[in-house]
Protein backbone atom coordinates (compact mmCIF):
# COMPACT_ATOMS: atom_id res chain seq x y z
CA UNK A 1 0.00 0.00 0.00
CA UNK A 2 1.29 3.45 -0.91
CA UNK A 3 0.75 6.51 1.28
CA UNK A 4 0.81 9.63 -0.87
CA UNK A 5 0.65 13.28 0.15
CA UNK A 6 0.77 15.21 -3.13
CA UNK A 7 -1.50 15.45 -6.18
CA UNK A 8 1.22 14.80 -8.82
CA UNK A 9 2.45 11.68 -7.00
CA UNK A 10 -1.10 10.39 -6.68
CA UNK A 11 -1.80 10.91 -10.38
CA UNK A 12 1.41 9.05 -11.25
CA UNK A 13 0.60 6.14 -8.91
CA UNK A 14 -2.92 5.78 -10.33
CA UNK A 15 -2.02 6.21 -14.00
CA UNK A 16 -1.83 2.46 -14.62
CA UNK A 17 -5.25 1.72 -13.08
CA UNK A 18 -8.41 2.13 -15.15
CA UNK A 19 -10.83 0.93 -12.46
CA UNK A 20 -10.54 3.01 -9.31
CA UNK A 21 -12.74 2.65 -6.23
CA UNK A 22 -12.60 5.64 -3.90
CA UNK A 23 -13.47 6.00 -0.21
CA UNK A 24 -13.15 9.58 1.08
CA UNK A 25 -12.72 9.91 4.85
CA UNK A 26 -11.60 12.32 7.54
CA UNK A 27 -9.48 9.61 9.19
CA UNK A 28 -9.60 8.23 12.74
CA UNK A 29 -10.87 5.09 11.12
CA UNK A 30 -13.21 2.44 12.51
CA UNK A 31 -14.88 -0.69 11.14
CA UNK A 32 -17.51 1.43 9.34
CA UNK A 33 -14.82 3.01 7.18
CA UNK A 34 -13.07 -0.33 6.66
CA UNK A 35 -16.33 -1.92 5.49
CA UNK A 36 -16.54 0.80 2.82
CA UNK A 37 -12.99 -0.02 1.74
CA UNK A 38 -13.87 -3.73 1.49
CA UNK A 39 -17.00 -2.83 -0.50
CA UNK A 40 -14.87 -0.75 -2.88
CA UNK A 41 -12.53 -3.73 -3.31
CA UNK A 42 -15.43 -6.05 -4.16
CA UNK A 43 -16.73 -3.52 -6.66
CA UNK A 44 -13.45 -2.82 -8.51
CA UNK A 45 -12.24 -6.41 -8.39
CA UNK A 46 -8.74 -7.68 -7.68
CA UNK A 47 -7.06 -5.73 -10.50
CA UNK A 48 -8.68 -2.36 -9.77
CA UNK A 49 -7.17 0.17 -7.37
CA UNK A 50 -8.81 1.01 -4.04
CA UNK A 51 -7.98 4.54 -2.93
CA UNK A 52 -8.90 6.04 0.45
CA UNK A 53 -8.39 9.69 1.25
CA UNK A 54 -7.77 11.08 4.71
CA UNK A 55 -8.36 14.80 4.98
CA UNK A 56 -10.03 16.79 7.74
CA UNK A 57 -11.76 19.36 5.58
CA UNK A 58 -11.76 22.77 7.23
CA UNK A 59 -14.39 24.03 4.73
CA UNK A 60 -17.16 21.86 6.19
CA UNK A 61 -16.62 22.91 9.82
CA UNK A 62 -18.24 25.98 11.34
CA UNK A 63 -15.92 28.13 13.49
CA UNK A 64 -17.42 26.77 16.75
CA UNK A 65 -17.12 23.11 15.66
CA UNK A 66 -14.39 20.57 16.35
CA UNK A 67 -11.99 21.11 13.42
CA UNK A 68 -8.99 21.73 15.67
CA UNK A 69 -9.64 18.82 18.02
CA UNK A 70 -10.81 16.29 15.39
CA UNK A 71 -8.56 13.24 15.98
CA UNK A 72 -5.70 12.87 13.50
CA UNK A 73 -4.31 9.33 13.67
CA UNK A 74 -2.63 8.79 10.28
CA UNK A 75 -0.20 6.04 11.24
CA UNK A 76 -2.84 3.86 12.87
CA UNK A 77 -5.28 4.56 10.02
CA UNK A 78 -2.74 3.42 7.41
CA UNK A 79 -2.22 0.10 9.24
CA UNK A 80 -5.96 -0.51 9.27
CA UNK A 81 -6.38 0.46 5.62
CA UNK A 82 -3.58 -1.84 4.50
CA UNK A 83 -5.17 -4.76 6.37
CA UNK A 84 -8.54 -3.96 4.77
CA UNK A 85 -7.11 -4.22 1.25
CA UNK A 86 -6.58 -0.58 0.35
CA UNK A 87 -3.94 0.10 -2.36
CA UNK A 88 -3.37 3.82 -2.05
CA UNK A 89 -3.95 6.29 0.79
CA UNK A 90 -4.14 9.93 -0.25
CA UNK A 91 -3.41 12.08 2.79
CA UNK A 92 -2.82 15.63 1.55
CA UNK A 93 -1.78 18.45 3.82
CA UNK A 94 -4.07 21.45 3.90
CA UNK A 95 -1.77 23.49 1.60
CA UNK A 96 -1.82 20.68 -0.98
CA UNK A 97 -5.60 20.70 -1.31
CA UNK A 98 -6.11 24.39 -0.60
CA UNK A 99 -2.93 26.20 -1.75
CA UNK A 100 -5.02 29.37 -1.86
CA UNK A 101 -8.38 30.06 -0.21
CA UNK A 102 -10.97 27.88 -1.97
CA UNK A 103 -13.13 30.67 -3.39
CA UNK A 104 -14.67 28.55 -6.16
CA UNK A 105 -17.22 26.36 -4.41
CA UNK A 106 -19.85 23.76 -5.25
CA UNK A 107 -23.21 25.06 -3.98
CA UNK A 108 -25.73 22.27 -3.45
CA UNK A 109 -29.45 23.05 -3.89
CA UNK A 110 -31.15 24.55 -0.85
CA UNK A 111 -34.09 22.12 -0.82
CA UNK A 112 -31.73 19.26 -0.05
CA UNK A 113 -28.74 20.94 1.55
CA UNK A 114 -30.36 23.49 3.85
CA UNK A 115 -32.59 21.04 5.70
CA UNK A 116 -31.72 18.71 8.62
CA UNK A 117 -27.90 18.61 8.84
CA UNK A 118 -27.60 21.64 6.56
CA UNK A 119 -30.02 23.63 8.71
CA UNK A 120 -28.06 22.96 11.88
CA UNK A 121 -24.65 23.12 10.18
CA UNK A 122 -25.00 26.03 7.71
CA UNK A 123 -22.48 25.71 4.89
CA UNK A 124 -21.70 22.11 5.79
CA UNK A 125 -22.81 20.61 2.47
CA UNK A 126 -21.10 23.34 0.46
CA UNK A 127 -17.88 22.35 2.21
CA UNK A 128 -18.52 18.66 1.64
CA UNK A 129 -19.50 19.04 -2.03
CA UNK A 130 -16.55 21.32 -2.75
CA UNK A 131 -13.97 18.97 -1.26
CA UNK A 132 -15.54 15.82 -2.70
CA UNK A 133 -15.77 17.37 -6.17
CA UNK A 134 -12.12 18.38 -5.88
CA UNK A 135 -11.08 14.94 -4.62
CA UNK A 136 -13.04 13.36 -7.49
CA UNK A 137 -11.07 15.53 -9.93
CA UNK A 138 -7.80 14.49 -8.32
CA UNK A 139 -8.47 10.75 -7.93
CA UNK A 140 -10.72 10.37 -11.02
CA UNK A 141 -12.41 7.28 -9.61
CA UNK A 142 -14.78 5.07 -11.57
CA UNK A 143 -16.78 4.52 -8.38
CA UNK A 144 -16.97 5.95 -4.88
CA UNK A 145 -18.45 4.53 -1.68
CA UNK A 146 -20.07 6.63 1.06
CA UNK A 147 -21.71 5.45 4.28
CA UNK A 148 -25.45 5.56 4.87
CA UNK A 149 -24.71 6.73 8.40
CA UNK A 150 -24.37 10.16 6.79
CA UNK A 151 -27.63 9.59 4.91
CA UNK A 152 -28.23 13.13 3.72
CA UNK A 153 -24.57 13.51 2.69
CA UNK A 154 -24.85 10.40 0.51
CA UNK A 155 -27.97 11.84 -1.14
CA UNK A 156 -26.43 15.27 -1.70
CA UNK A 157 -23.31 13.73 -3.24
CA UNK A 158 -25.32 11.37 -5.46
CA UNK A 159 -27.24 14.33 -6.84
CA UNK A 160 -24.07 16.38 -7.32
CA UNK A 161 -22.43 13.56 -9.23
CA UNK A 162 -25.47 13.05 -11.47
CA UNK A 163 -26.12 16.73 -12.10
CA UNK A 164 -22.47 17.49 -12.85
CA UNK A 165 -22.38 14.43 -15.17
CA UNK A 166 -19.35 13.03 -13.38
CA UNK A 167 -18.55 9.54 -14.71
CA UNK A 168 -18.51 8.02 -11.23
CA UNK A 169 -20.88 5.38 -9.82
CA UNK A 170 -21.90 6.31 -6.27
CA UNK A 171 -22.49 3.41 -3.87
CA UNK A 172 -23.96 3.50 -0.36
CA UNK A 173 -22.54 1.34 2.42
CA UNK A 174 -24.74 0.09 5.25
CA UNK A 175 -24.19 1.66 8.67
CA UNK A 176 -21.90 -0.45 10.83
CA UNK A 177 -22.86 -0.65 14.49
CA UNK A 178 -20.96 -1.56 17.62
CA UNK A 179 -21.04 -5.12 18.91
CA UNK A 180 -19.22 -4.14 22.14
CA UNK A 181 -21.11 -5.37 25.22
CA UNK A 182 -23.13 -2.48 26.61
CA UNK A 183 -22.98 -0.50 23.35
CA UNK A 184 -24.47 -3.03 20.93
CA UNK A 185 -26.16 -1.20 18.10
CA UNK A 186 -24.41 2.15 18.53
CA UNK A 187 -23.57 3.51 15.05
CA UNK A 188 -19.79 3.59 14.72
CA UNK A 189 -18.51 7.14 14.42
CA UNK A 190 -15.17 8.83 14.91
CA UNK A 191 -16.91 11.21 17.28
CA UNK A 192 -17.85 8.32 19.59
CA UNK A 193 -14.28 8.70 20.78
CA UNK A 194 -15.34 11.91 22.54
CA UNK A 195 -17.82 9.98 24.72
CA UNK A 196 -17.14 8.71 28.24
CA UNK A 197 -18.07 5.07 28.99
CA UNK A 198 -21.33 6.20 30.61
CA UNK A 199 -22.14 8.47 27.66
CA UNK A 200 -21.45 5.63 25.22
CA UNK A 201 -24.07 3.46 26.88
CA UNK A 202 -26.48 6.41 26.94
CA UNK A 203 -25.74 7.13 23.26
CA UNK A 204 -27.85 4.11 22.28
CA UNK A 205 -30.90 6.15 23.21
CA UNK A 206 -30.65 8.02 19.90
CA UNK A 207 -31.34 4.92 17.77
CA UNK A 208 -33.83 3.61 20.36
CA UNK A 209 -35.79 6.87 20.06
CA UNK A 210 -35.75 6.65 16.26
CA UNK A 211 -37.04 3.06 16.56
CA UNK A 212 -39.85 4.21 18.85
CA UNK A 213 -40.81 6.95 16.36
CA UNK A 214 -40.94 4.40 13.54
CA UNK A 215 -42.97 1.97 15.69
CA UNK A 216 -45.64 4.60 16.36
CA UNK A 217 -45.90 5.41 12.64
CA UNK A 218 -46.14 1.71 11.83
CA UNK A 219 -48.87 1.33 14.47
CA UNK A 220 -50.92 3.79 12.43
CA UNK A 221 -50.28 7.13 14.18
CA UNK A 222 -50.15 9.86 11.55
CA UNK A 223 -49.68 13.09 13.50
CA UNK A 224 -46.13 13.47 12.32
CA UNK A 225 -45.41 16.72 14.14
CA UNK A 226 -46.58 15.23 17.45
CA UNK A 227 -44.59 12.04 16.92
CA UNK A 228 -41.46 14.05 16.20
CA UNK A 229 -42.06 16.41 19.15
CA UNK A 230 -42.46 13.41 21.49
CA UNK A 231 -39.22 11.90 20.22
CA UNK A 232 -37.36 15.19 20.79
CA UNK A 233 -38.85 15.45 24.28
CA UNK A 234 -37.85 11.88 25.15
CA UNK A 235 -34.24 12.79 24.42
CA UNK A 236 -34.45 16.09 26.29
CA UNK A 237 -35.86 14.24 29.31
CA UNK A 238 -32.77 12.05 29.25
CA UNK A 239 -30.46 15.05 29.26
CA UNK A 240 -29.77 15.36 25.55
CA UNK A 241 -30.00 18.49 23.36
CA UNK A 242 -31.64 17.26 20.15
CA UNK A 243 -31.39 19.19 16.86
CA UNK A 244 -33.98 17.06 15.03
CA UNK A 245 -35.68 13.67 15.11
CA UNK A 246 -37.83 13.18 12.09
CA UNK A 247 -39.44 10.75 9.70
CA UNK A 248 -38.82 11.49 6.02
CA UNK A 249 -39.24 10.02 2.56
CA UNK A 250 -36.12 8.16 1.50
CA UNK A 251 -35.97 9.57 -2.00
CA UNK A 252 -35.95 13.32 -1.28
CA UNK A 253 -36.05 13.66 2.52
CA UNK A 254 -39.45 15.38 2.33
CA UNK A 255 -41.96 14.74 5.18
CA UNK A 256 -43.18 11.16 5.60
CA UNK A 257 -46.26 10.13 3.65
CA UNK A 258 -48.03 6.80 3.42
CA UNK A 259 -46.97 4.31 0.81
CA UNK A 260 -43.43 5.59 0.23
CA UNK A 261 -40.12 4.25 1.57
CA UNK A 262 -39.26 6.17 4.74
CA UNK A 263 -36.23 6.86 6.89
CA UNK A 264 -36.03 8.17 10.45
CA UNK A 265 -33.16 10.56 11.01
CA UNK A 266 -31.84 12.22 14.14
CA UNK A 267 -29.07 14.46 15.41
CA UNK A 268 -28.53 15.39 19.03
CA UNK A 269 -25.83 16.51 21.40
CA UNK A 270 -24.92 14.36 24.36
CA UNK A 271 -22.64 16.42 26.59
CA UNK A 272 -20.21 18.08 24.16
CA UNK A 273 -20.60 15.44 21.46
CA UNK A 274 -22.99 15.80 18.53
CA UNK A 275 -24.17 12.42 17.23
CA UNK A 276 -26.25 11.54 14.18
CA UNK A 277 -28.01 8.32 13.23
CA UNK A 278 -30.76 7.10 10.94
CA UNK A 279 -32.84 3.98 10.32
CA UNK A 280 -34.53 3.05 7.09
CA UNK A 281 -38.08 1.84 7.66
CA UNK A 282 -38.53 -1.71 6.51
CA UNK A 283 -41.91 -2.96 5.37
N1 LIG B 1 -20.79 3.46 11.11
C2 LIG B 1 -20.55 3.66 9.81
N3 LIG B 1 -20.92 2.72 8.92
C4 LIG B 1 -20.69 2.92 7.58
N5 LIG B 1 -20.08 4.02 7.08
C6 LIG B 1 -19.70 4.97 7.93
C7 LIG B 1 -19.91 4.84 9.34
N8 LIG B 1 -19.43 5.95 9.94
C9 LIG B 1 -18.94 6.74 8.96
N10 LIG B 1 -19.10 6.15 7.76
C11 LIG B 1 -18.76 6.71 6.45
O12 LIG B 1 -17.37 6.88 6.34
C13 LIG B 1 -17.10 7.97 5.46
C14 LIG B 1 -16.16 8.92 6.15
O15 LIG B 1 -16.84 9.47 7.26
P16 LIG B 1 -16.11 10.21 8.45
O17 LIG B 1 -14.64 10.14 8.26
O18 LIG B 1 -16.75 11.52 8.67
O19 LIG B 1 -16.44 9.22 9.66
P20 LIG B 1 -17.41 9.38 10.84
O21 LIG B 1 -17.18 8.25 11.75
O22 LIG B 1 -18.78 9.63 10.25
O23 LIG B 1 -16.91 10.66 11.52
P24 LIG B 1 -17.74 11.69 12.37
O25 LIG B 1 -17.87 11.09 13.70
O26 LIG B 1 -16.83 12.85 12.30
O27 LIG B 1 -19.04 11.97 11.67
C28 LIG B 1 -18.45 8.62 5.14
O29 LIG B 1 -18.89 8.12 3.88
C30 LIG B 1 -19.32 8.10 6.26
O31 LIG B 1 -20.68 8.05 5.93
C1 LIG C 1 -17.09 12.92 2.62
C2 LIG C 1 -16.09 13.59 3.54
C3 LIG C 1 -14.80 12.80 3.59
C4 LIG C 1 -15.76 14.98 2.94
O5 LIG C 1 -14.86 15.67 3.75
C6 LIG C 1 -16.68 13.79 4.96
O7 LIG C 1 -17.80 14.60 4.94
C8 LIG C 1 -16.93 12.48 5.66
O9 LIG C 1 -15.95 11.95 6.19
O10 LIG C 1 -18.08 11.99 5.66
N1 LIG D 1 -19.27 12.45 8.95
C2 LIG D 1 -19.53 13.64 8.17
C3 LIG D 1 -18.46 14.65 8.31
C4 LIG D 1 -18.68 15.62 9.41
O5 LIG D 1 -19.45 15.39 10.35
O6 LIG D 1 -18.04 16.67 9.35
Instruction: In whole angstroms, give the CA distance from residue 214 to residue 262.
Output: 9
Nearest atom in ligand 3 to 57's CA: 6
Residue 172: pLDDT band with limits 50, 70, 90: very high
- Ligand 1 near 172 CB (within 6 A): no
Nearest atom in ligand 3 to 149's CA: 1
Please tell me whether the interface predicted TM-score (ipTM) of this complex is above 0.95.
yes
Query: Measured over all CA atoms, what is the biggest interatomic distance in the chain, rounded to whole angstroms?
Result: 58
Residue of minimum CA distance from atom 7 in ligand 2: 128
Residues making up the binding site for beta-alanine: 60
Q: Rounded mean pLDDT of 118-123?
A: 98
Per the CB < 8 A criterion, the answer to whether 159 and 184 are in contact is no
CA of 141 to the centre of ligand 1 (A): 19
- Identify the DSSP state of 255: B
Q: Rounded mean pLDDT of 261-269?
A: 98
Q: Rounded mean pLDDT of 130-140?
A: 98
Q: Rounded mean pLDDT of 110-118?
A: 97
Beta-carbon contacts of 97 under 8 Å, excluding residues fewer than 6 positions away, are 55, 57, 131, 134
Give the chain's mean pLDDT: 97
Laid out side by side, the sheet with 262-270 consists of 241-249, 262-270, 273-280
pLDDT, tens only, 32-45: 999 999 999 999 99
The pTM for the full model equals: 0.98
**Which residues are 241's β-sheet partners?**
269
Radius of gyration of the chain (CA): 19
| Per-residue pLDDT, 53 | 99
- Ligand 1 near 142 CB (within 6 A): no
Q: Where are the domains of the chain?
A: 2-173, 190-280
Instruction: In whole angstroms, give the CA distance from residue 46 to residue 19.
Output: 10
- Superfamily holding 2-173: HUPs (3.40.50.620)
| Per-residue pLDDT, 208 | 98
CATH class of 190-280: alpha beta
| Per-residue pLDDT, 283 | 74
What percentage of the chain has pLDDT greater than the value 70? Answer: 100
Q: Count Cβ neighbours within 10 Å for each residue of 206-232 and write b for 16 or more, e otherwise.
A: bbebbebbbebbeeeeeebeebbebbb
What percentage of the chain has pLDDT greater than the value 90? Answer: 99
Q: Rounded mean pLDDT of 180-195?
A: 95
- Candidate from 54, 147, 153, 154 with most ligand 1 atoms within 8 A of CB, to mutate: 147
How far lies 214's CA from each of 191, 207, 269, in Å? 25, 11, 21
Which ligand lies nearest to the CA atom of residue 56 in the structure?
A: 2
Per the CB < 8 A criterion, the answer to whether 203 and 228 are in contact is no
Amino acid sequence: MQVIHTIPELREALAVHRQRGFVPTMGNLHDGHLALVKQARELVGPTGAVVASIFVNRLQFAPHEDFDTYPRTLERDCGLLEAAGCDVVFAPGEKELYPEPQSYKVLPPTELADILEGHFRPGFFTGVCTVVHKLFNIVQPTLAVFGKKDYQQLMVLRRMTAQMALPIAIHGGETRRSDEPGNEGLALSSRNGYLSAAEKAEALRLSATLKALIARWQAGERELAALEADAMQALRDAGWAPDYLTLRRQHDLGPAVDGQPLVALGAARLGRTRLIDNLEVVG
